[in-house]
Chains A and B, each alone.
Chain A
């Protein structure tokens, strides 16, 4: 089974701190994604990456950056955390090479609170 592991389940940070959220997948997937989930707004795509060192903006990239130095790891960076970035963050991965059968596999999320 594919495993997507997010480094922290809960995280509390102060306003203005630089925050790193880490995600690792063990299935050699090409594609990795970061979403945030807020009540009433569903899952919104922040950034995604289709290859090492490649990244594309999603729907809400402002205030975030990402890093993908190795295929299995995709990091989300909050350069200067703000209270409106308090949210559940979900990482996902998928394979391109399997063609039509390429569902997303999600981690269990990091609940970030910025105070």
Chain B
């Protein structure tokens, strides 16, 4: 699995968009970008994933650069409940081993 690099922490004002970046410069052509988040005292929760096209679901949007070396998770209107650690990982969808880094701690400020 390719490695990812994320900022250690970020702040975002409540109601504003939160943009969380992730670098994955060694990503392979068949590796997907997945995002998870972990709210305190819970297990990580799946948010969204994509291969090369931008993706959107009810939780977030995922923007992947054309060269696929980086991506951005967008929470369009951050709320206090979005305060969590966000993990970006890359993996081949059918490949079993999945490795997580330390993620980005997002603090949403009232």
- Distance from A68 Cβ to chain B, minimum over Cβ atoms (Å): 13
Please state if B94 and A35 are interface contacts (CB–CB under 8 Å).
no
Contact: B46 with A103, CB < 8 Å? yes
**Interface residue count for A (Cβ, 8 Å)?**
30
Residue from B43, B46, B97, B100 in contact with A42 in the complex, judged by beta carbons closer than 8 Å: B100
Partner of B36, one of A56, A100, A104: A104
Question: Would A90 and B96 be within 8 Å (CB), given that A40-B102, A100-B32, A103-B34 are in contact?
Answer: no
A73 within 8 A of B: no
Q: Known contacts A43-B100, A59-B99; decide if A101 and B93 are in contact (CB<8 Å).
A: yes
Chain A residues closer than 8 Å to B98, beta-carbon distance: 33, 45, 48, 92, 94, 104
Most buried by A among B41, B98, B101: B98
Name A82-107 residues within 8 Å CB distance of B: 90, 92, 94, 96, 99-107
CB distance from A114 to the nearest CB of B (A): 20
B contact residues, range: 20 to 34
Q: Mark B87-110, 1 if CB is under 8 A from A, else 0.
A: 100000110111111110000000
- Measured between beta carbons, the chain A residues less than 8 angstroms from B101 are 42
Please name 14 further chain A to chain B contacts, defined as beta carbons within 8 Å, in addition to the given A42-B87, A104-B44, sorted by A numbering.
A35-B100, A43-B44, A48-B96, A56-B96, A90-B44, A92-B44, A92-B98, A96-B94, A99-B93, A100-B94, A103-B46, A104-B98, A106-B45, A109-B42
Interface residues of A (CB under 8 A from B): 4, 31, 33, 35, 40-45, 48, 50, 56, 58-59, 90, 92, 94, 96, 99-109
